[in-house]
Copies of this chain bind each other. A is one copy, B any other.
Protein backbone atom coordinates (compact mmCIF):
# COMPACT_ATOMS: atom_id res chain seq x y z
CA UNK A 1 0.00 0.00 0.00
CA UNK A 2 1.89 3.09 -1.25
CA UNK A 3 2.03 5.68 1.50
CA UNK A 4 1.86 9.24 0.13
CA UNK A 5 4.99 10.76 1.56
CA UNK A 6 4.63 13.20 4.43
CA UNK A 7 4.85 16.78 3.16
CA UNK A 8 5.71 17.34 -0.50
CA UNK A 9 4.93 14.69 -3.07
CA UNK A 10 8.51 13.68 -3.91
CA UNK A 11 10.23 10.82 -2.14
CA UNK A 12 14.00 10.89 -2.51
CA UNK A 13 16.75 8.37 -2.28
CA UNK A 14 17.74 9.83 1.07
CA UNK A 15 14.36 9.30 2.64
CA UNK A 16 14.49 5.71 1.45
CA UNK A 17 17.92 5.35 3.00
CA UNK A 18 16.73 6.75 6.33
CA UNK A 19 13.64 4.57 6.39
CA UNK A 20 15.59 1.46 5.50
CA UNK A 21 18.43 2.25 7.90
CA UNK A 22 21.15 2.32 5.24
CA UNK A 23 23.08 5.07 3.49
CA UNK A 24 21.98 6.81 0.29
CA UNK A 25 24.94 5.22 -1.47
CA UNK A 26 23.59 1.77 -0.76
CA UNK A 27 20.20 2.74 -2.14
CA UNK A 28 21.92 4.06 -5.23
CA UNK A 29 23.76 0.77 -5.64
CA UNK A 30 20.48 -1.11 -5.45
CA UNK A 31 18.98 1.24 -8.00
CA UNK A 32 21.73 0.92 -10.55
CA UNK A 33 22.53 -2.70 -9.75
CA UNK A 34 26.20 -1.92 -10.17
CA UNK A 35 28.04 -2.64 -6.92
CA UNK A 36 27.88 -5.70 -4.67
CA UNK A 37 25.08 -5.47 -2.16
CA UNK A 38 23.86 -8.21 0.18
CA UNK A 39 20.66 -9.82 -1.16
CA UNK A 40 18.72 -9.24 2.05
CA UNK A 41 19.70 -5.57 2.10
CA UNK A 42 18.67 -5.18 -1.50
CA UNK A 43 15.34 -6.82 -0.75
CA UNK A 44 14.73 -4.58 2.21
CA UNK A 45 15.58 -1.44 0.26
CA UNK A 46 13.31 -2.46 -2.59
CA UNK A 47 10.47 -3.05 -0.17
CA UNK A 48 10.99 0.34 1.43
CA UNK A 49 10.95 2.02 -1.98
CA UNK A 50 7.72 0.28 -2.77
CA UNK A 51 6.21 1.19 0.59
CA UNK A 52 7.03 4.89 0.29
CA UNK A 53 6.11 5.12 -3.38
CA UNK A 54 9.54 6.13 -4.63
CA UNK A 55 9.99 7.45 -8.17
CA UNK A 56 13.42 7.55 -9.75
CA UNK A 57 14.49 11.03 -10.76
CA UNK A 58 16.13 10.67 -14.12
CA UNK A 59 16.87 14.37 -14.38
CA UNK A 60 19.08 14.25 -11.32
CA UNK A 61 20.76 11.09 -12.52
CA UNK A 62 21.49 12.51 -15.95
CA UNK A 63 23.18 15.41 -14.27
CA UNK A 64 25.98 13.05 -13.33
CA UNK A 65 26.26 10.62 -16.20
CA UNK A 66 24.91 12.09 -19.41
CA UNK A 67 23.32 8.77 -20.44
CA UNK A 68 19.68 9.64 -20.86
CA UNK A 69 18.45 6.68 -22.91
CA UNK A 70 15.86 8.84 -24.56
CA UNK A 71 15.69 9.54 -28.26
CA UNK A 72 13.46 11.93 -30.13
CA UNK A 73 11.21 10.96 -33.02
CA UNK A 74 10.09 13.93 -35.07
CA UNK A 75 7.31 13.22 -37.56
CA UNK A 76 6.11 15.61 -40.21
CA UNK A 77 2.60 14.22 -40.57
CA UNK A 78 1.14 11.91 -38.01
CA UNK A 79 -2.24 11.86 -39.71
CA UNK A 80 -0.66 9.91 -42.54
CA UNK A 81 -0.87 6.23 -41.58
CA UNK A 82 2.46 5.68 -43.25
CA UNK A 83 4.25 7.69 -40.59
CA UNK A 84 2.22 6.15 -37.81
CA UNK A 85 3.45 2.73 -38.93
CA UNK A 86 6.99 4.03 -39.25
CA UNK A 87 6.74 5.25 -35.66
CA UNK A 88 5.58 1.83 -34.52
CA UNK A 89 8.67 0.25 -36.03
CA UNK A 90 10.95 2.79 -34.37
CA UNK A 91 9.36 2.31 -30.97
CA UNK A 92 9.58 -1.45 -31.17
CA UNK A 93 13.36 -1.44 -31.58
CA UNK A 94 13.99 1.33 -29.09
CA UNK A 95 11.94 -0.41 -26.45
CA UNK A 96 13.95 -3.59 -26.82
CA UNK A 97 17.14 -1.63 -26.33
CA UNK A 98 15.75 -0.06 -23.17
CA UNK A 99 15.33 3.33 -24.77
CA UNK A 100 12.22 5.43 -24.80
CA UNK A 101 10.99 7.58 -27.67
CA UNK A 102 10.03 11.19 -27.27
CA UNK A 103 7.70 11.57 -30.22
CA UNK A 104 6.36 14.76 -31.71
CA UNK A 105 4.40 15.86 -34.74
CA UNK A 106 5.43 18.96 -36.66
CA UNK A 107 2.53 19.04 -39.12
CA UNK A 108 4.99 20.21 -41.79
CA UNK A 109 5.91 23.34 -39.84
CA UNK A 110 9.61 24.13 -39.80
CA UNK A 111 9.12 26.44 -36.84
CA UNK A 112 7.45 23.76 -34.81
CA UNK A 113 10.16 21.35 -35.89
CA UNK A 114 12.84 23.68 -34.61
CA UNK A 115 11.03 24.11 -31.28
CA UNK A 116 10.52 20.42 -30.82
CA UNK A 117 14.11 19.50 -31.57
CA UNK A 118 15.38 22.11 -29.15
CA UNK A 119 13.10 20.74 -26.43
CA UNK A 120 14.45 17.28 -27.07
CA UNK A 121 18.03 18.43 -26.78
CA UNK A 122 17.22 20.29 -23.59
CA UNK A 123 15.77 17.13 -22.15
CA UNK A 124 18.99 15.37 -22.98
CA UNK A 125 17.92 13.21 -25.90
CA UNK A 126 20.87 11.12 -27.01
CA UNK A 127 19.70 11.10 -30.60
CA UNK A 128 16.95 12.20 -32.93
CA UNK A 129 15.19 10.53 -35.83
CA UNK A 130 13.84 13.24 -38.08
CA UNK A 131 11.26 12.97 -40.83
CA UNK A 132 11.86 16.52 -42.01
CA UNK A 133 9.05 18.99 -42.59
CA UNK A 134 8.65 20.20 -46.13
CA UNK A 135 10.76 23.38 -46.11
CA UNK A 136 13.59 22.04 -44.01
CA UNK A 137 17.00 23.32 -45.14
CA UNK A 138 20.12 21.25 -44.48
CA UNK A 139 21.66 24.07 -42.41
CA UNK A 140 18.81 23.66 -39.94
CA UNK A 141 20.60 20.55 -38.82
CA UNK A 142 24.08 21.96 -38.37
CA UNK A 143 23.77 22.05 -34.59
CA UNK A 144 23.83 18.27 -34.50
CA UNK A 145 27.39 18.01 -35.78
CA UNK A 146 28.54 20.75 -33.42
CA UNK A 147 26.79 19.29 -30.39
CA UNK A 148 27.73 15.72 -31.21
CA UNK A 149 24.11 14.61 -31.12
CA UNK A 150 23.28 11.57 -33.24
CA UNK A 151 20.85 12.61 -35.95
CA UNK A 152 19.20 10.46 -38.57
CA UNK A 153 17.05 11.69 -41.44
CA UNK A 154 14.29 9.34 -42.49
CA UNK A 155 11.78 8.96 -45.33
CA UNK A 156 12.57 12.29 -46.95
CA UNK A 157 16.14 12.64 -48.02
CA UNK A 158 17.60 16.08 -47.35
CA UNK A 159 20.14 16.89 -50.06
CA UNK A 160 23.22 18.52 -48.61
CA UNK A 161 22.79 17.22 -45.07
CA UNK A 162 25.58 14.95 -43.95
CA UNK A 163 23.66 12.57 -41.73
CA UNK A 164 22.65 8.95 -41.77
CA UNK A 165 19.62 8.36 -43.93
CA UNK A 166 16.87 5.76 -44.10
CA UNK A 167 14.61 6.05 -47.11
CA UNK A 168 12.67 3.74 -49.39
CA UNK A 169 13.76 2.96 -52.94
CA UNK A 170 11.51 5.61 -54.44
CA UNK A 171 13.02 5.71 -57.88
CA UNK A 172 13.10 1.97 -58.42
CA UNK A 173 9.62 1.53 -56.99
CA UNK A 174 8.06 4.15 -59.23
CA UNK A 175 9.90 2.73 -62.17
CA UNK A 176 8.52 -0.74 -61.42
CA UNK A 177 4.92 0.25 -61.13
CA UNK A 178 5.18 2.32 -64.31
CA UNK A 179 6.68 -0.57 -66.22
CA UNK A 180 3.81 -2.70 -64.98
CA UNK A 181 1.34 -0.29 -66.58
CA UNK A 182 3.36 -0.23 -69.76
CA UNK A 183 3.33 -4.01 -69.89
CA UNK A 184 -0.45 -3.89 -69.60
CA UNK A 185 -0.39 -1.97 -72.87
CA UNK A 186 -0.90 1.61 -71.73
CA UNK A 187 0.48 4.37 -73.94
CA UNK A 188 -0.63 7.63 -72.39
CA UNK A 189 0.29 7.59 -68.72
CA UNK A 190 -0.02 10.56 -66.35
CA UNK A 191 1.93 11.35 -63.18
CA UNK A 192 -0.22 12.97 -60.53
CA UNK A 193 0.20 14.63 -57.17
CA UNK A 194 2.93 15.90 -54.84
CA UNK A 195 4.64 19.24 -55.20
CA UNK A 196 7.63 19.78 -57.43
CA UNK A 197 9.78 20.92 -54.51
CA UNK A 198 9.41 17.61 -52.65
CA UNK A 199 12.46 15.41 -52.93
CA UNK A 200 10.32 12.32 -52.71
CA UNK A 201 8.29 13.46 -55.68
CA UNK A 202 11.43 14.17 -57.64
CA UNK A 203 12.64 10.65 -56.98
CA UNK A 204 9.35 8.98 -57.82
CA UNK A 205 8.78 11.09 -60.88
CA UNK A 206 12.32 10.30 -61.93
CA UNK A 207 11.52 6.60 -61.72
CA UNK A 208 8.39 7.16 -63.74
CA UNK A 209 10.33 9.00 -66.44
CA UNK A 210 13.07 6.41 -66.64
CA UNK A 211 10.55 3.59 -67.16
CA UNK A 212 8.72 5.59 -69.79
CA UNK A 213 11.89 6.39 -71.65
CA UNK A 214 13.22 2.87 -71.41
CA UNK A 215 10.03 1.68 -73.10
CA UNK A 216 10.22 4.40 -75.70
CA UNK A 217 6.97 5.98 -74.51
CA UNK A 218 6.23 9.61 -75.17
CA UNK A 219 5.97 11.79 -72.06
CA UNK A 220 3.36 14.52 -72.40
CA UNK A 221 4.14 17.47 -70.09
CA UNK A 222 0.41 18.13 -69.81
CA UNK A 223 0.12 14.81 -68.02
CA UNK A 224 2.40 15.84 -65.14
CA UNK A 225 0.28 17.53 -62.48
CA UNK A 226 1.26 18.75 -59.06
CA UNK A 227 -1.05 18.79 -56.06
CA UNK A 228 -0.92 18.72 -52.31
CA UNK A 229 -0.29 15.15 -51.20
CA UNK A 230 -3.79 14.78 -49.79
CA UNK A 231 -6.96 13.09 -50.87
CA UNK A 232 -8.43 16.42 -51.91
CA UNK A 233 -5.29 17.24 -53.85
CA UNK A 234 -5.53 13.95 -55.73
CA UNK A 235 -9.20 14.55 -56.41
CA UNK A 236 -8.49 17.98 -57.88
CA UNK A 237 -5.57 16.87 -60.04
CA UNK A 238 -7.49 13.91 -61.38
CA UNK A 239 -10.47 16.10 -62.21
CA UNK A 240 -8.16 18.41 -64.13
CA UNK A 241 -6.66 15.51 -66.04
CA UNK A 242 -10.06 14.12 -66.93
CA UNK A 243 -11.16 17.41 -68.39
CA UNK A 244 -8.38 17.24 -70.97
CA UNK A 245 -9.35 16.51 -74.54
CA UNK A 246 -6.83 13.71 -74.79
CA UNK A 247 -7.19 11.75 -71.57
CA UNK A 248 -4.59 9.30 -70.30
CA UNK A 249 -5.52 5.62 -69.95
CA UNK A 250 -3.42 5.15 -66.82
CA UNK A 251 -2.29 7.29 -63.91
CA UNK A 252 0.67 6.91 -61.57
CA UNK A 253 0.04 8.78 -58.34
CA UNK A 254 2.52 10.32 -55.94
CA UNK A 255 1.22 8.21 -53.05
CA UNK A 256 -1.75 6.15 -51.92
CA UNK A 257 -3.60 9.03 -50.37
CA UNK A 258 -3.43 10.97 -53.61
CA UNK A 259 -4.39 7.86 -55.58
CA UNK A 260 -7.49 7.34 -53.49
CA UNK A 261 -8.52 10.92 -54.15
CA UNK A 262 -7.92 10.31 -57.83
CA UNK A 263 -10.09 7.19 -57.74
CA UNK A 264 -12.95 9.17 -56.25
CA UNK A 265 -12.65 11.75 -59.01
CA UNK A 266 -12.64 9.05 -61.67
CA UNK A 267 -15.73 7.46 -60.20
CA UNK A 268 -17.41 10.84 -60.07
CA UNK A 269 -16.77 11.16 -63.81
CA UNK A 270 -18.52 7.85 -64.38
CA UNK A 271 -15.38 5.84 -65.02
CA UNK A 272 -14.91 2.38 -63.57
CA UNK A 273 -11.41 2.25 -62.15
CA UNK A 274 -9.54 -0.85 -63.31
CA UNK A 275 -11.67 -1.13 -66.45
CA UNK A 276 -11.97 2.34 -67.99
CA UNK A 277 -8.83 3.70 -66.42
CA UNK A 278 -5.88 2.34 -64.45
CA UNK A 279 -4.77 4.11 -61.26
CA UNK A 280 -1.81 3.13 -59.11
CA UNK A 281 -0.37 4.53 -55.89
CA UNK A 282 2.72 4.33 -53.71
CA UNK A 283 3.28 3.31 -50.05
CA UNK A 284 0.83 0.43 -49.60
CA UNK A 285 -0.92 1.96 -46.61
CA UNK A 286 -3.63 -0.16 -45.05
CA UNK A 287 -6.22 1.93 -46.86
CA UNK A 288 -4.88 0.72 -50.20
CA UNK A 289 -6.05 -2.80 -49.43
CA UNK A 290 -9.50 -1.69 -48.44
CA UNK A 291 -10.65 0.77 -51.02
CA UNK A 292 -12.73 -0.58 -53.81
CA UNK A 293 -11.34 -1.52 -56.23
CA UNK A 294 -8.27 -2.39 -54.18
CA UNK A 295 -5.32 -0.22 -55.10
CA UNK A 296 -2.31 -1.46 -57.01
CA UNK A 297 0.65 0.19 -55.36
CA UNK A 298 4.27 -0.08 -54.23
CA UNK A 299 4.95 -1.51 -50.80
CA UNK A 300 7.84 -0.06 -48.82
CA UNK A 301 7.33 -1.63 -45.38
CA UNK A 302 7.18 1.44 -43.15
CA UNK A 303 7.50 -0.64 -40.00
CA UNK A 304 10.69 -2.17 -41.33
CA UNK A 305 12.06 1.26 -42.23
CA UNK A 306 11.28 2.43 -38.71
CA UNK A 307 13.08 -0.54 -37.20
CA UNK A 308 16.06 0.08 -39.41
CA UNK A 309 16.16 3.76 -38.57
CA UNK A 310 16.10 3.04 -34.85
CA UNK A 311 18.79 0.41 -35.13
CA UNK A 312 21.03 2.74 -37.12
CA UNK A 313 20.53 5.57 -34.67
CA UNK A 314 21.37 3.37 -31.71
CA UNK A 315 24.53 2.27 -33.44
CA UNK A 316 25.46 5.90 -33.97
CA UNK A 317 24.74 6.79 -30.37
CA UNK A 318 26.96 4.00 -29.13
CA UNK A 319 29.77 4.89 -31.49
CA UNK A 320 29.65 8.65 -32.09
CA UNK A 321 32.72 8.63 -34.27
CA UNK A 322 31.16 6.28 -36.82
CA UNK A 323 30.60 7.53 -40.34
CA UNK A 324 27.04 8.40 -41.42
CA UNK A 325 25.37 5.39 -42.95
CA UNK A 326 22.50 4.99 -45.39
CA UNK A 327 19.81 2.40 -45.77
CA UNK A 328 17.66 2.27 -48.86
CA UNK A 329 14.64 0.08 -48.15
CA UNK A 330 13.26 -2.20 -50.85
CA UNK A 331 10.10 -1.28 -52.71
CA UNK A 332 8.08 -3.99 -54.35
CA UNK A 333 5.05 -3.97 -56.58
CA UNK A 334 1.71 -5.01 -55.10
CA UNK A 335 -0.75 -5.83 -57.84
CA UNK A 336 -4.40 -5.47 -56.94
CA UNK A 337 -7.43 -4.40 -58.93
CA UNK A 338 -7.10 -0.71 -59.70
CA UNK A 339 -4.61 -1.29 -62.51
CA UNK A 340 -6.90 -3.66 -64.35
CA UNK A 341 -4.40 -6.50 -64.50
CA UNK A 342 -6.70 -8.84 -62.64
CA UNK A 343 -9.65 -8.17 -64.91
CA UNK A 344 -7.42 -8.57 -67.93
CA UNK A 345 -6.24 -11.94 -66.67
CA UNK A 346 -9.81 -13.03 -66.12
CA UNK A 347 -10.80 -11.94 -69.59
CA UNK A 348 -7.86 -13.79 -71.10
CA UNK A 349 -8.80 -16.94 -69.22
CA UNK A 350 -12.55 -16.78 -69.93
Contacts and interface: CB of A to CB of B under 8 A. Distances in A.
Interface of A: 2-4, 9-10, 53, 55-60, 62-63, 66, 70, 78-79, 81, 84-85, 87-88, 91, 95, 100-105, 107, 112, 115-116, 118-119, 121-124, 142-143, 145-148, 231, 260, 264, 286-287, 290-292
Where chain A touches its partner, the secondary structure class is: helix
B9 A148 contact: yes
Given A143-B2, A290-B260, A105 B122 contact: no
Contacts of A57: 63, 122, 124
Given A87-B78, A101-B104, A290-B264, A58 B2 contact: no
Contacts of A87: 78, 105
B63 A63 contact: yes
Contact of A59 (B58, B104, B142): B58
Contacts of A70: 123
A121 to B, nearest CB: 5
Contacts of A101: 103-104
A157 B260 CA distance: 34
Contact of A9 (B112, B147, B286): B147
Contact of A124 (B59, B103, B145, B290): B59
A27 to B, nearest CB: 16
Contacts of A95: 112, 115
Nearest to A91: B105
Contacts of A3: 146
14 contacts: A9-B148, A53-B143, A56-B122, A57-B122, A58-B122, A58-B123, A60-B63, A79-B81, A79-B88, A87-B105, A91-B105, A101-B103, A287-B290, A291-B292
Contacts of A100: 104, 116, 119
A147 B53 contact: yes
Contact of A287 (B62, B84, B143, B287): B287
Contacts of A118: 55
Contacts of A55: 118, 121-122, 147
A59 B102 CA distance: 15
